Amino acid sequence: MEKMARVTTALGGNALTGRTMFCHLDAPANAISVCRDAAQVVVAGRNIFKIYSIEEEQFVEKLNLRVGRKPSLNFSCADVVWHQMDENLLATAATNGVVVTWNLGKPSRNKQDQLFTEHKRTVNKVCFHPTEVYMLLSGSQDGYMKCFDLRKKDSVSTFSGQSESVRDVQFSIRDYFTFAATFENGNVQLWDIRRPDRYERMFTAHNGPVFCCDWHPEDRGWLATGGRDKMVKVWDMNTTRAKEIYCVQTIASVARVKWRPECKHHIATCSMMVDHNIYVWDVRRPFIPSAMFEEHKDVTTGIVWRHLHDPYFLLSGSKDSTLYQHIFKDASQPIDRANPEGLCYSLYGDLAFAAKESLISSDSNRKPYIGDRRHPIFFKRKLDPTEQFEYISSSSALSVFETDVESGSMDWFVHTAKQYALAGRPLPELCDHNAKVAKGLDRNQVAQTWTMLRIIYSSLSTVSSTNLNHSMGKGSTTLPLMNSFNLKDIPSGLGSESRLDRSKGESRSENILMDSSSTLMNNEDNEETEGSDVPADYLLGDVEADEDDLYMMDHENPHAEEQEYSLPQEAFPLRHEIVDNPSALDHLQDKADSPHVSGNEAETVSLTPVESFSLISISHSLYENRLPSDFFNPIVRDTLLFYAEQGDVQTAVSVLIVLGDRIRREIDEQTQEHWYTSYIDLLQRFQLWNISNEVIKLSTCRAINCLNQASTTLHVNCSNCKRPMSNRGWICDRCRQCASMCAVCHHVVKGLFVWCQGCSHGGHLQHIMKWLETSSHCPAGCGHLCEYT
């Protein structure tokens, strides 16, 4: 409380002073209202009806209006209003539908003056005429508004909204005869008090109930409304059609709105549910409240500015049974806490950075981005001199830093995405095709992977790939080392190779884990043959070793694993040899592909099956006479994980799709989903819509599959009567007219309809395409220059 400011404002002689303070009420408040002199406040609720005087330091209870042994339901107030001309006059709206007036001048304890029991349902709102002492207006759940003359016993006139419940009624401050009423169905009606038969104007302001409205105290044409749709809208009523001039989106349904005195664009709001804070918005800056009061612990139900001409004191009542006086100086200002900097990467690695201008200038002095800064684009928001002080801080600058065109190029991604074949052909063909594509783009490692996959999974020979893996395993030892390398440091030509290395390493290490019994000797083999380029007969030798391994028992297992861990250090220097020797790869690959090798494998096949089954107990029927292709699943899985880890989610997803069920179960759903979403996101950012859709279709994840099934509905309005067409897309049920005619052939379009976004004429896709090939004007003859891209 110490920090709370004490504020004094001069208001034509009387000074308003005070601090942020509160007092406990005995019960939740439903509404509050202030006396004209800003010295007293009345609080009303289901179980409370009291007047407090607002002192310097505290609220002091002045009067309890809830008297009598057994208070009647008439005391259960939904709303309360204090007359702004007569300080003895109050009116309340009771939940049972009674409108009660109170005369504080009465000598007796019971100040109840008049009872109007004309409404059949709860009365939501009462409102005094701003300049007429005896005129009271009420709006009720039963859909009626009633105007009472306090000198008479009954209502003077009844206004029927002809629709649902009335939520708020407000006399216009300037127009003597006008009042606004808001309704549960989202409408706002304007009435002339002299004409109870019909409203003057009506418009739909919100989607769902409009809970409140408030006329601008100065600008006579402005009406603010707040609704259940979480919006606050400001309407300019001066024009013939009510025009929405400002709209503020809040986070919860809006229960009350109150213009801030003396500040043309400020408005205070509180919400009906969930959110307990009071916000003061500058309607011109609708994204962030300019002030915020966070004191209440439950929903705020009533807000009122303490004095008609003082913008610094706000009173509020709440369901948490407290009454607060808020001082503007103590308000928290979310703008101060908001992060004023924005940072974003573009597809091509460009970086945009927006920040307060002051920050930018100091930064650029230090020049932190010298290296990358190619073409900084610089925007600055121009200050509007007429705008008020709070805008000064909001000027900001946006800089864009472009990265090196070469290194940031993502062409390969686009090309790959376009050229890859993912389905529709047998697996070997797909793999071959994709390998070729990758190779064409100088991505040898990826090409290699595809080739390996073909070998592993096409039924030709499964064992040969074992050898392939083993022989390639030479490189395995470089794995940890590579991690310490930064891609940037390596010339791009080498980059791909080194990456390839790593992948081999991955598959290798997995290999060890899998048929671990076989690895011990194998590793030794590798070490021996390291350094030398793969000799032609090495492959064969390896096979032999493999066979030997297969006879070994499982107890070798732990050793093998230890071996694996100790390997990296030994093989440290090896990497360079391989990297520097790209030909080795091609060599290898040729080997693997060569018929000679496969023939060789065919022989070994006869030996291996029995052992392999004994080693890993997988029952398998498809590859009865060979090593099951499942055998390599962990390797492939790790390859994919590796690619994804590297950021090449494209390869991972493509392989996933091509292999389909063969690999799907090896990778957990979540990871797959993650890959898919990343890849699809990338594709869509490159506007490769067709490919992204193909990927969605081919994916086996349920979450992904349904992506292109969401929001596939296109709602069409009839071009004639502007009503939505519910049944069929081409004929309107109401005006019985065909809505979408082709501008070229003048027939109804029932299938693909393309239309110009400029002039909204259109027609059959084919017709329009043909038309625009020869002419640049709209076929409808409207003179618009249509574009078809």
Partner 1 sequence: MQANGLDERTNLLVEEYSTSGRLDNITQVMSIHTQYLESFLRSQFYMLRMDGPLPLPYRHYIAIMAAARHQCSYLINMHVDEFLKTGGIAEWLNGLEYIPQRLKNLNEINKLLAHRPWLITKEHIQKLVKTGENNWSLPELVHAVVLLAHYHALASFVFGSGINPERDPDTSNGVRLIAVNNFCVCDLANDNNIENASLTSSNFGIADSLSELEALMERMKRLQEDKEDEEASQEEMATRFEMEKKESLLVINGAFDDEIVSTDVSRYIEDPGFGYKDFARRGEDHLPTFRAQDYTWENHGFSLVNRLYSDIGHLLDEKFRMVYNLTYNTMATHEDVDTTTLRRALFNYVHCMYGIRYDDYDYGEVNQLLERSLKVYIKTVTCYPERTTKRMYDSYWRQFKHSEKVHVNLLLMEARMQAELLYALRAITRHLT
* Distance of closest approach, residue 298 Cβ to partner 1, in angstroms: 5
Helices of type H across 283-403:
334-337, 357-366
Count how many residues are written for the chain. 789
Give residues with Cβ within 8 angstroms of 2, minimum separation 6.
none
Rounded distance between C-alpha atoms, residue 539 and residue 470, angstroms: 9
* Distance of closest approach, residue 319 Cβ to partner 1, in angstroms: 8
Token output for 128 = 């005094």
Residue 114 φ/ψ region, left for φ over 0, alpha for ψ in the -120 to 50 degree band, beta for the rest: beta
Report the SS3 class of residue 428.
helix
Instruction: Return the axis-axis angle of helices 492-514 and 516-529, rounded to nearest 10°.
Output: 140
Rounded distance between C-alpha atoms, residue 603 and residue 365, angstroms: 73
Cβ closest to partner 1, residue 47 vs residue 598: 47
Residues that bind partner 1 (CB under 8 A): 46, 70-74, 76, 78, 94-97, 115, 117-118, 120-122, 141, 165, 184, 208-209, 211, 228, 252-253, 272-274, 276, 297-299, 710
Sheet of 178-183: strand order equals 166-171, 178-183, 187-192, 201-204
Residues of 355-365 as b/e, b for ≥16 C-beta within 10 angstroms?
beeeebeeeee
* Distance of closest approach, residue 124 Cβ to partner 1, in angstroms: 10
* Distance of closest approach, residue 278 Cβ to partner 1, in angstroms: 16
Cβ closest to partner 1, residue 301 vs residue 503: 301
Cβ closest to partner 1, residue 299 vs residue 400: 299
Rounded distance between C-alpha atoms, residue 168 and residue 616, angstroms: 77
* Distance of closest approach, residue 578 Cβ to partner 1, in angstroms: 47
Cβ closest to partner 1, residue 213 vs residue 446: 213
Longest Cα–Cα distance in the chain: 118
* Distance of closest approach, residue 734 Cβ to partner 1, in angstroms: 14
Backbone angles phi, psi at 683, to 5 degrees: -60, -40
Task: Give the E-state strand segments of 221-380 in sequence order.
Answer: 222-227, 231-236, 243-249, 254-259, 266-271, 278-282, 291-293, 300-307, 310-318, 322-327, 342-345, 351-356, 377-380
Closest CA to 65 of 84, 89, 85, 83: 89
Rounded distance between C-alpha atoms, residue 473 and residue 519, angstroms: 11
Token output for 785 = 């220059």
How many CB atoms sit inside 10 A of residue 382's CB? 7
* Distance of closest approach, residue 160 Cβ to partner 1, in angstroms: 15
Cβ closest to partner 1, residue 212 vs residue 778: 212
**Cα–Cα–Cα angle for 9, 13, 16, rounded to 5 degrees:** 35
Q: Are the CB atoms for 186 and 195 separated by under 8 Å? A: no
Rounded distance between C-alpha atoms, residue 283 and residue 231, angstroms: 12
* Distance of closest approach, residue 707 Cβ to partner 1, in angstroms: 11
Cβ closest to partner 1, residue 233 vs residue 470: 233
* Distance of closest approach, residue 30 Cβ to partner 1, in angstroms: 9
Cβ closest to partner 1, residue 113 vs residue 372: 113
* Distance of closest approach, residue 332 Cβ to partner 1, in angstroms: 20
* Distance of closest approach, residue 273 Cβ to partner 1, in angstroms: 4
* Distance of closest approach, residue 384 Cβ to partner 1, in angstroms: 36
- 557: number of CA atoms within 13 Å, CB side? 7
Rounded distance between C-alpha atoms, residue 469 and residue 503, angstroms: 11
Token output for 540 = 């064969």
Cβ closest to partner 1, residue 64 vs residue 687: 64
Cβ closest to partner 1, residue 297 vs residue 309: 297
Cβ closest to partner 1, residue 253 vs residue 496: 253
Rounded distance between C-alpha atoms, residue 313 and residue 307, angstroms: 7
Cβ closest to partner 1, residue 166 vs residue 658: 166
Cβ closest to partner 1, residue 38 vs residue 212: 212
In the block, residue with structure tokens 């000198």: 151
* Distance of closest approach, residue 203 Cβ to partner 1, in angstroms: 21
Q: Are the CB atoms for 134 and 91 separated by under 8 Å? A: no
Cβ closest to partner 1, residue 252 vs residue 335: 252
Q: Are the CB atoms for 472 and 491 separated by under 8 Å? A: no
* Distance of closest approach, residue 725 Cβ to partner 1, in angstroms: 15
Q: What is the dihedral of CA 737, 741, 746, 747, to 10 degrees?
A: -80
Token output for 482 = 């590579």
Rounded distance between C-alpha atoms, residue 580 and residue 498, angstroms: 9
H helix or E strand, kind and range, residue 673: helix 669-685
Cβ closest to partner 1, residue 292 vs residue 585: 292
Rounded distance between C-alpha atoms, residue 372 and residue 402, angstroms: 7
* Distance of closest approach, residue 122 Cβ to partner 1, in angstroms: 4
* Distance of closest approach, residue 111 Cβ to partner 1, in angstroms: 18
Cβ closest to partner 1, residue 94 vs residue 431: 94
Cβ closest to partner 1, residue 211 vs residue 730: 211
